[in-house]
Amino acid sequence: MHVIALRRDVHEGGPWIARSLYKAFEQARVETMRRMEETAASRYLLPWLYAETERTRRLMGDDFWTYGLKGNEPTLNTFLRYSHEQGLAGRLLSPAELFAPETLESFVIDYGRKPVAVAACC
């Protein structure tokens, strides 16, 4: 859902930044998904949100806003192939080349309730 880009010099000066940004966006995504499930007092002004979220889950699975490489690899492969075929990319890239190596490692987010295991690529 989001594309996060870092200038090369920023990444080289602090490779931990890529991982921190990824974790922050992942934490926000998980929290948003959790809030969308609340039915007592919706934070959103859409009276049909809960029903639409359930319909979307049935159609696309529980993680319909997948972040990271693993859940997006087929789409990224197609995107990169089209980019190369249309002359937008000088060579055919692999999806992993789009990600900072630090974002391809697994981690756990603990909200003090139930830890949520998150893996960027594996």
Is residue 121 within 8 A of residue 67, CB to CB? The reply is: no
DSSP string, 41-55: S-SSS-TTHHHHHHH
pLDDT, tens digit only, all 122 positions of the chain:
567 888 999 999 998 899 899 889 889 888 888 888 777 777 777 788 888 888 998 998 888 888 888 888 999 999 999 999 999 999 999 999 999 888 887 666 565 655 554 544 33
- 87: DSSP letter: T
Handedness of CA 14, 99, 89, 79 (dihedral sign): negative
| Domain layout of the chain by residue ranges | 8-119
Burial 96-105 (b: 16+ CB within 10 A, else e): eeebbebbbe
Type of residue at 109? I
pTM for the full model?
0.63
